[in-house]
Amino acid sequence: MSDVTPEELKKRVEVERIKDASNYLRGSLKQSLQDPLTGALAESDTQLSKFHGIYQQDDRDLRDERRRQKLEPHYQFMVRVRVPGGVCTPDQWLQIDRIATTWCNHTIRLTTRQAYQFHGIIKRDLKKTIAEVNAALLDTIAACGDVNRNVMCNPNPYQSRLHEEVYEYTRRISEHLTPRTTAYHEIWLDQELVATSKKQDEEPIYGKHYLPRKFKTAVAIPPSNDVDIFANDLGFIAIEENGRLAGFNVTVGGGMGMTHGEPETYPRLADVVGYCPKEKTLQVAEEIVKIQRDHGDRTNRKHARFKYTIDDRGIEWFKFELNKRLGWNMEPPRPYVFESSGDRYGWVEGVNDTWHYTMFIQNGRILDTDELPMMTGLREIAKVHEGDFRLTANQNLMIGRVSSKQKPVIEALLKKYKLTGSYHRTGLRLNSMACVAFPTCALAMAESERYLPSLLDKLDAIMKDAGLEHDPIVIRMTGCPNGCARPFLGEIGFVGKAPGKYNLYLGAGFYGQRLNKLYRENIGEEQILAELTPIIHRYAKERGQGEKFGDFVIRCGYVKEVLAGKDFHS
Amino acid sequence: MHIVLPERSKTPLNEEQHRYLQQVLSILTPEQAAWLAGYVTASIAGSAAAGAMASAVGGGASDITILVGSQTGNSEKLAEQTHQLAASRGLRTVVKKMGDYKLPQLKAEKNLLVIVSTHGEGTPPDNTKEMYEFLFSKRAPSLKHVHYAVLGLGDSSYEFFCKMGVDFDRRLEELGAQRIHPRVDCDVDYESAAEGWMDAVLKELSTRVEVSSAPIAGAGFPALSLASASAYSRKNPFPSVMLENIVLNGRGSIKETRHIELSLEGSGLAYEPGDVLGVYPTNAPDVVEELLVALRAAGGEPVTVDGKETSIYEALFRHLEITTLTRPMIQKYAALAAQSKLDDLLAEANKKAFQHYLDGREIIDLLTDFPARELPLQAFVDMLRKLPPRLYSIASSLKQHPDEVHLTVVAVRYHAHGRSRKGVCSTYFADRIGEYTTVPVYVDHNQNFKLPADPATPIIMVGPGTGVAPFRAFVEERDAIGASGKSWLFFGDQHFTTDFLYQAEWLKYLKQGRLSRMNVAFSRDQEQKVYVQHRMLEQSRDLYAWLQEGAHFYVCGDEKRMAHDVHEALLKVVEKEGALNREQAEEYVKTLQKDKRYQRDVY
């Protein structure tokens, strides 16, 4: 990997030049943090802060008001905490809870990638927040930015035996692909370089310019595809042999995001490219990341994701390239079966006399309200819990590894804080997901988290009416086409276009095996309900035995089947 | 020397102008003629330099000196008025400002008319301090040959009413001068009392001094470079339309600071940065109602105010001051109330208890704490002062906002002695004016708070809270004229997120380089309170360097604590960076004041 010439750098996008000049992600972050005249970071630092897990945002509800008041926007920061595989200890939960109430907006957001998100941190509290996250033995580095993000893993596989070992690989992949730059410790943890003669930071895998775009990795344990493995740039499907982990089927090239009105951008599902024995996992992950590093488009960020790198050259090119770099050939993929992508709610028995309790958390947003003291309840549970907490891939929470002796203790607390029965909702709602959107996300075009619940109220009524109260249908909403809540994998998908207006997509596969397709463009609630009501009723009446909604709408011709990302728009 | 004008037809003058001008020119000495030539030229060029030049040459050709000590400019206006009135009566006078006065000249004075205002609790106005100290020091000369009269301006809601006037009057006598007219103390509504003094004093002087047969054309006092072309004034305010009224504090702030924009279109009023806008508010209807209840009046009962008949409601709502308690008012009330406890409070010996009672109380408290069995409405009306205009430092530059004037006003609301209270004018803006109300205003020029004449001069501005208002005008003005001089603003308030007044504008100016530096202090954003003076001390090295380069230093805002703390900090900066002791530092700062490089607009 050689350095980039100045001519080459000029051809690249601005962010590439910012990375280049940043000295391994330092930029002028330190000075920006100390500037007392503004609650914002310097422009270029807002790109670099992402690599540190920090997004600069502003309260969009106040934007206009503050402009009229001759005040700058209400800048605040979102901090994303990495939780490989979504597993953390009760003590870490308590720290997260404490940070949320001290520096943030008194809520904890569980993300669609099994991470924690804090919102509402003001600049002068940022350093304290990051330091406290690290003190809890979690971190925020590479939670955002052009690097490998939080590595997902099924938190409660049917084959619980496998979980421990697979989870271990998840952590090792995460660790292996974490940036090596000491900038993070320098800026947030006040750890100066030990000696001035120390070599400049080196990134053995990423190099000075990191990746062209975000890179998402997930690990799945069949038959559950809750992590939506095919939506990831890189995936590892656990293959079992005699009750033990043998190796992984490797998937590449998945990615959700697209831009309205630009058909050369599209969501894509990953290809399964082969099988590797488990000892080779880290090497395979590294080489795949390096392929994207070297070949991804750095002149156009909308064309920079791994999916386009592959589609531009073909999957055969990729396999050839990978084998070349590995120095050995990947084996043909082994058989596997996915059956679902949702969470299993309530108490589920694990191994070695443990139980897991999964609760439904609308939009993954944990907070206290008058009716439901969720945050307090979970805090109290964390104080006595001896197992772990697991963030699910559907923005829900699992209280994991509860011994049968502790089970009644936890049950009593769940009851006390009205947390039992969280999952007594329709099958539709239990399989719903929404991204954050307003008021904090700068990219939102329409409401998502703040709107989906009330839309679901209306859809729930229709479902009940049609006798489909307990039928699971995957439904997802995002405020913009970046697709953070994986809307293109919804049997019903909504993507915001303008305030109150959404594109409606139908027909994805129930266990994340097929993308949906555009059904109606730029419609408001009235039309959404008008469109969906007859379809839902027809589904109730005419579906085949065990036929899923996503398959039904294709069979009945509402939308065509999408076989490849390239055909998403056709 | 005798300057002769060319024949009228060869000049651009009319008959009358030609006649008067020839008259003036015929009585000027060469020195005076030279001065006049320069002054007129400079006036046309339109700069305050004209004023400086004029006062530098000063008078000396007159036997009557009008000595002025003023904070906000009222005394200066009265001095000018006296000067004009004297001239119209054939008396030649020269006006000198105490801050510019050369103290050794004092014993050479023959006739001294002293016009001095008292600011707040009896403290000398900034430009009066040196003379005041001189007079009361051992170096004060014998003034055996001086005749004098004193006019004092003040506010009777302060215990030390007209203290400056009192002190000057007494001290001059002690130094042997002869009083030609008793001292007159004016309350906030000063015009008629002042005019009475002028008339009497000039009458007296005309028996002692040479009187010219013809009126004397005014020369000697620097006319304001903004000669009012307007028909509107303090006596005749302009009904301005409100254009904008927004709360500057962000959601969640406990403060309510408003940015007010008023239209001056059609008024002919003009102002410079540093000037002040006088506003005539009306009282709050609910406060008026409370008083009517205490007075057992319905509101329509007829009373006379200022010789005009009106209803008691109108009188209390529009014409009279109905909140602030003053000793004179209480004395008049006590005479009618026949309440022994009140009489006790007024006793000489109980000054402290009296002050304590006044603290946080208003006229309504007086009526309810010491109810009078019978209080005729007219008698009550006669006790009250006229509703005075409120003065606000102007927050805009005409060059950026033609025909507009902007203000920064914080709504004053508080609880005291079981009642909720509010500032009259601040809540007038906040609560009682709407889209179609007009606000009666006038411009009050403040010669003591001005940008440096040379736009290349560096300026340092310290303006926490609403004190930032005139600095917005300063920066806007310098931006408009493309001033090359660097500028530095110190601002403070409670919370960064919600109380950073005009933040977006400062950030823009900093980005464009129209404001060179800015330091902020938000007192409640951390454990310990941090204020602007702390920032000054942190920046002492650069601050001192700027002063050494000739920077002007401005302070605006709260007088009681902030101005004092900032002054202290300035001294400390000078001590530390100049390696001076306290005495030397004080000299340094005094020199800044004398050179008009340390200016304050404090309230």
A42 interaction partners in chain B (CB closer than 8 Å): none
Is the CB of B246 less than 8 angstroms away from the CB of A36? no
Alpha helix (H) residue ranges in A12-70? 14-21, 29-34, 43-51, 63-68
Mutation to test the B interface, candidates A33, A64, A69, most B Cβ within 10 Å: A69
Q: Worst-scoring range by mean pLDDT, A121-130, A360-369, A447-456, B226-235? A: B226-235
Cβ-proximal residues to A519 (8 Å cutoff; 6+ apart), any chain: A504, A505, A506, A507, A531, A558, A559
B246: contact with A, CB 8 A cutoff = yes
**Half-sphere CA count of B581, side-chain side, radius 13 A:** 1
Average pLDDT for residues A82-98, to the nearest whole number? 95
Residue B600 has pLDDT above 80, yes or no: yes
Q: Determine whether the interchain pair B497/A122 forms a contact, defined as Cβ–Cβ distance below 8 Å.
A: yes
pLDDT tens for each residue of B211-255: 777 676 644 444 443 445 678 999 899 999 999 999 999 999 999
Q: Tell me the Ramachandran region of residue A53: left when phi exceeds 0, alpha when psi lies from -120 to 50, beta otherwise.
A: left
| Strands lying side by side in the sheet with A234-241 | A152-153, A217-220, A234-241, A244-252, A271-277
Share of chain B above pLDDT 70, in %: 93
- Report residue A340 as tokens: 């679902």
Q: Nearest chain B Cα to A38, which residue?
A: B507
Question: Locate tokens 């049917």: which residue?
Answer: A158
Confidence category of residue B340, pLDDT binned at 50, 70, 90: confident
Position B586 pLDDT exceeds 60: yes
What pLDDT, on the 0 to 100 scale, is given for residue B164?
A: 93
pLDDT band, residue A449 (cuts 50/70/90): very high
Tokens of A45: 């630092």
- Chain A interface, best mutation among B244, B251, B520, B526, by max A CB count within 10 A: B251
Residue of B nearest to A61 (CA): B251
A158 in helix, strand or coil? coil
Task: Give the C-alpha separation, B25 to A469, whole Å.
Answer: 105
Question: What was the pLDDT predicted at A161?
Answer: 75
- Please enumerate in sequence order all residues whose Cβ is within 8 A of that of B303, keeping only pairs 6 or more positions apart, or say none: B309, B310, B311, B312, B315, B377, B378, B381
| Residue B505 near chain A (CB below 8 Å) | yes
* Rounded CA separation B204/B215 (Å): 17
pLDDT tens digits along A417-431: 999 989 999 999 999
For a pLDDT cut of 70, what percent of chain A falls above it? 97
Calculate mean pLDDT across residues A332-358. 92
Alpha-carbon gap, residue B414 to B359, rounded angstroms: 13
Per-residue model confidence (pLDDT) at position B10:
76
Section B12-18 average pLDDT: 82
Q: Could you give the ipTM of this predicted complex?
A: 0.88
pLDDT at residue B70, as a whole number: 81
Q: Which of A75-84, A226-235, B202-211 has the lowest mean pLDDT?
A: B202-211
Give the pLDDT confidence score for residue B42 in this predicted structure.
59
pLDDT at B420 over 70: yes
Mean pLDDT of B458-477: 98
Per-residue pLDDT at A516 exceeds 70: yes
pLDDT at position B171, please? 95
Model confidence over A476-486: pLDDT tens digits? 999 999 999 99
> Is the predicted pLDDT of residue A302 greater than 90, yes or no?
yes
Q: Residue B250: its chain A contacts at CB < 8 A?
A: 62, 66, 69, 71, 74
Instruction: Write down the H helix ranges in B481-552.
Output: 496-499, 503-512, 532-538, 540-548
Predicted pLDDT of residue B44: 62
- Per-residue pLDDT averaged across B548-564, rounded? 95
pLDDT (mean) for A338-351? 90
From the CA of A69, how many Å to the nearest CA of chain B? 5
Highest mean pLDDT among A354-363, B59-68, B344-353: A354-363
Phi, psi of B405 (to 5 degrees): -135, 135
pLDDT category of residue B51 using cuts at 50, 70 and 90: very low
Contact of B259 with chain A, judged by CB distance below 8 Å, is answered with yes
Average pLDDT value for residue range A541-558 = 96
Mean pLDDT of chain A: 94
Residues A250, A251, A253, A254: is their CA dihedral positive or negative?
A: negative
Q: Is residue B527 less than 8 Å (CB to CB) from chain A?
A: no
CB A516 within 8 Å of CB A489: yes
Question: In 10 A of CB A423, how many CB atoms?
Answer: 16
Q: Given its phi and psi angles, is residue A263 left (phi above 0), alpha (psi -120 to 50 degrees) or beta?
A: alpha
| pLDDT bucket at B58, cuts 50 / 70 / 90 | very low
Token pair, residue B339, equals: 């309440």
Cα gap A79→B180, rounded to integer Å: 79
Q: What is the pLDDT of residue A69?
A: 97
Please report the pLDDT score of residue B222 as a whole number: 41
**Which strands make up the sheet holding B487-493, listed edge to edge?**
B517-522, B487-493, B459-462, B552-557, B598-602
Residue ranges of chain A whose CB lies within 8 Å of a chain B CB: 36-39, 62, 65-72, 74, 122, 124
pLDDT of res. A200 = 60
Which pLDDT does position A47 carry in this prediction?
96
Beta bridge partners of B443: B277
Averaged pLDDT, A176-204:
79
For residue B502, the model assigns a pLDDT of 98
Radius of gyration of chain B (CA): 26
pLDDT digits (tens, 9 = 90+) for B372-386: 988 999 999 999 999
The whole-number pLDDT of residue A194 equals 53
Q: Please indicate whether, in this complex, the C-beta atoms of B518 and A122 are within 8 angstroms of each other.
A: no
Residue that is written with structure tokens 């010669």 in the block: B447
Q: State the pLDDT confidence band at B125, using cuts at 50, 70 and 90.
A: confident
State whether residue B503 sits within 8 Å of chain A by CB.
yes
Residue A508 pLDDT exceeds 60? yes
Band of pLDDT at residue B49, cut at 50, 70 and 90 = very low
Interchain proximity A70–B247, CB inside 8 Å:
no
Calpha distance B365→B333 (Å, rounded): 12
pLDDT exceeds 90 at position B133: no
**What's the pLDDT at A323?**
97
Supply the residues of A annotated as catalytic.
80, 149, 214, 216, 435, 441, 480, 484
Among the partner-chain residues A65, A72, A74, the one whose CB lies closest to the CB of B504 is: A72
Of B102-116, B317-331, B480-494, which gets the smallest average pLDDT? B102-116
Per the prediction, chain B carries an average pLDDT of 89
pLDDT at residue A197, rounded to an integer:
42
pLDDT at A159: 62
Report the C-alpha gap between A335 and A333 in whole angstroms.
Answer: 7
Is residue A1 very low, low, confident or very high in pLDDT (cuts 50, 70, 90)?
low
Give the pLDDT score at B325.
94
